[in-house]
């Protein structure tokens, strides 16, 4: 239906996340449960929690929701659902069940908008083969939508952000720049074509990447969302006790993203992410400032960053490009731990 959701928010999508620095401060003193069947918890700030049921099955459990990232309610539902599913895919798991999470100002907005958001979510989960079996809603403004998702994986084949090793090659499956392009659209700085490409990418599932990671025995990965490429790479580097080296000129970019940064379109989330990574980031003196800021751009429903054994990296890249991830690229490598966890060159 014709209703502009963007008029209800100042920042939406994963740009609305609390800053990663604040989040780490909040989480650092929380007690961790002692249970041998908990395979992944919040200790490494991974994409989802993992709980072993038996020798062959583990549950992957996550939740994600945010304010509108686009104008159209149906598209917002699609993007929010794809983003929620992505955490399960990043761990090499198959999502199977979901619950809706909805906050909606029922007195201020037509209920048809609510229905369209849910329909968008159902459409995307149907594509993924996931069943939505309930949910919860409260009256709140601005509207927010997402899913709690359960996936399943073999306990011996869980992909985490803590298993990157020196010598690995880094592959990224989607271009970066969604935060900047969508901000550019709101400011009438980005073209309809550029915004359309960003929307299409955010609606794209990471299911094929998950399938190919499992097929090729990849063991380390994370999805790129609100903390940007550099922020999520930093979490992987810390969890794995390595240094991640990003060849910034090889990072794929959404159409229009570089131009928009050059014209001064830089959302506030980029600077929050810079504040988070700055003490752990080394950049060479000749680094393009625009590209550096693009590595900090908050992504919504971004790609998978995988750390891959060099011997299979070329073949896996070919499979990704041919199998539905055409913009996949090798963007760097993992090296032994140095003074800085992240190097951009």
Q: How far apart are CA 41 and CA 87, in angstroms?
A: 13
DSSP assignment, residue 92? T
Q: How far apart are CA 83 and CA 130, in angstroms?
A: 14
**Residue 247, CA atoms < 13 Å, CB-side half-sphere:** 12
Residue 178 phi, psi (nearest 5): -65, -40
**Residue 12, CA atoms < 13 Å, CB-side half-sphere:** 28
| Active-site pick, 14, 70, 265, 325 | 14
325 assigned to active site? no
Q: How far apart are CA 192 and CA 92, in angstroms?
A: 34
Residues 143/276, Cβ–Cβ less than 8 Å: no
User: 232: which residues sit within 8 A by CB, 6+ positions away?
Assistant: 161, 222, 223, 224, 225, 305
Query: Closest Cα partner for 60 from 24, 43, 85, 27?
Result: 85
Residues 118/78, Cβ–Cβ less than 8 Å: no
Which residues belong to the active site?
14
């Amino acid at each position: 239906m014709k209703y502009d959701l963007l008029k209800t928010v100042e920042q939406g999508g994963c740009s609305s996340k609390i800053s990663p620095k604040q989040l780490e401060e909040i989480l650092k003193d929380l007690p961790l449960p002692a249970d041998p069947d908990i395979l992944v918890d919040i200790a490494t700030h991974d994409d989802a929690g993992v709980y072993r049921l038996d020798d062959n099955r583990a549950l992957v459990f996550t939740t994600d929701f945010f304010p509108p990232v686009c104008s159209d309610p149906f598209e917002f539902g699609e993007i929010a659902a794809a983003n929620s599913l992505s955490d399960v895919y990043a761990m090499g798991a198959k999502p199977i069940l979901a619950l809706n999470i909805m906050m909606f100002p029922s007195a201020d907005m037509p209920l048809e908008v609510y229905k369209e958001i849910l329909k968008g979510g159902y459409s995307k989960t149907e594509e993924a083969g996931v069943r939505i079996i309930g949910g919860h809603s409260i009256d709140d403004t601005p509207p927010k939508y997402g899913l709690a998702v359960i996936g399943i994986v073999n306990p011996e084949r869980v992909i985490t952000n803590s298993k990157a090793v020196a010598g690995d090659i880094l592959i990224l499956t989607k271009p970066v720049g969604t935060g900047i392009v969508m901000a550019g659209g709101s400011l009438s700085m980005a073209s309809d074509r550029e915004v359309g490409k960003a929307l299409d990418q955010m609606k794209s599932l990471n299911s094929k990447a998950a399938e190919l990671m499992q097929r090729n025995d990849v063991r380390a990965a994370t999805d790129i969302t609100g903390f940007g490429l550099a922020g999520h790479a930093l979490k992987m580097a810390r969890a794995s006790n390595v240094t991640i080296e990003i060849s910034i000129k090889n990072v794929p970019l959404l159409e229009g993203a570089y131009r928009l940064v050059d014209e001064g379109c830089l959302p506030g989330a980029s600077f929050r992410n810079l504040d988070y990574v700055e003490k752990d980031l080394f950049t060479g003196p000749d680094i393009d400032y625009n590209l550096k800021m693009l590595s900090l751009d908050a992504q919504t429903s971004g790609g998978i960053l995988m750390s891959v054994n060099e011997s299979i990296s070329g073949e896996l890249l070919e499979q990704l490009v041919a199998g539905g991830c055409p913009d996949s690229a090798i963007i760097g490598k993992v090296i032994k731990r140095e003074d800085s966890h992240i190097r951009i060159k």
